[in-house]
Amino acid sequence: MSLDSIRKVRAQTVESLMMELSQIAQALTHSEEQYRTMEVQIQADTEAYAQQAGQGLTIEDLLQWQGKMDAQRSALRQVRAAIDHATGLWQQTQERLVEARQECKLLERVAEQRQTARHAMIARREQWAEDETAGRQISMRGRGDS
């Protein structure tokens, strides 16, 4: 595979990782908003439960409240797990992006070095050709003067 092909693949990888990061960030933002909304609802339900409990609850009402609050806590834990997972995924993807960008910079330096070496070689060939031409001309003048 040529250096240019490798550079293009790495550039595509960087773009892909940036898109992936964007999607992860959107999912993370959504989950965090969902988490905050759920916390507010749990707080409101806790206050309502406390108020009703102060007025007296039947066993059925108590069991209903406990079931509802257990379900809310479970859902909250699931959203927290989704946030933690997305955060870990974001960090891993960010690390891969940094690595891919470093590889792009390295490949760019290699390409520049190759270009510089190519220009130097061309310049040496041109100088050699000029020296050869000048040497022939001097040689021909020397023959002509004799």
Give per-10-residue mean pLDDT for the chain (146 aa). Answer: 88 95 96 97 95 91 94 97 96 96 93 92 92 83 66
With respect to residue 131, please indicate whether it lies within any of the assigned structural domains.
no
With respect to residue 139, please indicate whether it lies within any of the assigned structural domains.
no
Give the pLDDT confidence score for residue 144 in this predicted structure. Answer: 63
Query: Positive or negative, the Cα torsion across 65, 66, 70, 71?
Result: negative
On whether the CB atoms of residues 59 and 124 are closer than 8 A, the answer is no
On whether the CB atoms of residues 12 and 113 are closer than 8 A, the answer is no
On whether the CB atoms of residues 122 and 18 are closer than 8 A, the answer is no
Give the pLDDT confidence score for residue 112 in this predicted structure. Answer: 92
Phi, psi of 12 (to 5 degrees): -65, -35
pTM value is 0.70
Give the pLDDT confidence score for residue 4 in this predicted structure. Answer: 87
With respect to residue 40, please indicate whether it lies within any of the assigned structural domains.
yes
Q: What total of structural domains would you count in the chain?
A: 1
Give the pLDDT confidence score for residue 11 in this predicted structure. Answer: 92
